Amino acid sequence: MRVKKQKRHRRVVRFYTACFGFREPFKVMCDGTFIHHLFGNKLGPFEKVVGNALGGSVKLFTTRCVIGELQALGQEYGGSCSAARNEFKIASCDHEKRVTAVACIMQIIGEKNTDHFFVGTQDFEMRQKLKEIPGVPVLYGLRTALLLEQPSTHQRDFVKSSEESRLHMTDLELQMLKKRTMERLSAVEAEEELKPDDAENQIDKDIKYQILATQSVVEREAERRRMQTEDGPRFKRKRAKLILVCETNVAHLLQGPNPLSCLKKRKHPEPNPKKASGDDSGTRSRSRKRKRSRGKNASKNSDD
């Protein structure tokens, strides 16, 4: 299960990095409920735990409105409030007066999440609101595990529509293209009017006509050969290999067979056969004499 969860998280992070431009270190905006969940379940250090869930380095952010809300909840949330002050970076929020944490975070995210924030929250209603905004990944906790929500259908539809809009030209680009083509056509027509129809232009036209005629003849001949080969038997034709030959520091490509295949097979020299004993011309083999110990013979003679 743990491996499957990591694969799902990697797939979701890859979706947001490819479609919305998220980059490491990932910025995670945390509300009071998410901070209290991390502190209550003793999931520390916070940056390491969140980084393992997202598969990269992270920076944790919160706001003054979130800290004020935790402080107003009493001593039960005192540890979470101190952790938010000490271990989280404070994101600037332009409020004349303190507002709720949900309103503060929604104002920072905006309509397009231009700052590329991940949002960590345990509030279900807030998670449902963030799903309607394109490019806002949501992170929440379940006991001692952190889970990353899958992109919503609204976000996927937004990505598809934006990709289709990139493929087509805008009205301004279409007008610029029409203007440039008209200018180009007018310039070509003006050049053709200025050129005199003299002998040189006639020669150029004749050369072009001859080139087109030869091309048509070659194409007809190739078509005829193709039809003949289709009717006849098909076989695999052996083609000559390309050999790289270097002469005077210049590389040439020549067509021909592999030179190693053209070499004759080497015949290994056979050992000389033993010559017959009756052959007088050959050298006489030297017989080895057997050595006998004289000590034993001497002792036998003395006994006799």
Q: Classify residue 133 by its DSSP letter.
A: S
Q: What is the pLDDT of residue 178?
A: 77
pLDDT above 80 for 33: yes
Q: Which two tokens stand for residue 164?
A: 């289709």
pLDDT above 50 for 84: yes
Q: What is the pLDDT of residue 221?
A: 66
Evaluate the CA torsion angle 289, 293, 294, 299 in order and state its sign.
negative
Summarised one tens digit per residue, pLDDT across range 176-215 is 877 778 777 777 777 766 555 555 555 555 565 556 556 6
Mean pLDDT for the chain overall: 77
Q: What is the pLDDT of residue 209?
A: 52
Between the alpha carbon of residue 225 and those of residues 158, 216, 229, 238, the distances in Å are: 55, 14, 6, 18
Q: What is the pLDDT of residue 242?
A: 46
Question: Which among 87, 85, 122, 119 has a CA at the least distance from the CA of 104?
Answer: 119
Per-range mean pLDDT, top range of 60-64, 263-267, 286-290, 296-300: 60-64
Q: What is the pLDDT of residue 233?
A: 44
More confident residue, 139 or 284: 139
Tell me the β-bridge partners of 139.
120, 148
More confident residue, 96 or 239: 96
Summarised one tens digit per residue, pLDDT across range 35-79 is 999 999 988 789 999 999 999 999 999 999 999 999 998 888 999
SS3 86: helix
Summarised one tens digit per residue, pLDDT across range 210-259 is 565 566 556 666 766 665 544 444 444 555 444 444 444 444 444 567 77
Summarised one tens digit per residue, pLDDT across range 118-167 is 999 999 999 999 999 999 999 999 888 899 999 999 999 998 888 887 77
Do the strands 117-120 and 89-90 form a parallel or antiparallel pair, or are they unpaired? unpaired
State the first-to-last Cα distance of the chain, in angstroms, to the nearest integer: 102
Whether 156 contacts 137, CB under 8 Å: no
Q: What is the pLDDT of residue 65?
A: 92
243: amino acid identity, one letter: I
Q: What is the pLDDT of residue 227?
A: 58
Whether 29 contacts 110, CB under 8 Å: no
Kindly report the backbone phi and psi dihedral angles of residue 259, in degrees, each rounded to the nearest multiple of 5, phi listed first. Answer: -65, -25
Q: Which two tokens stand for residue 226?
A: 């193709």
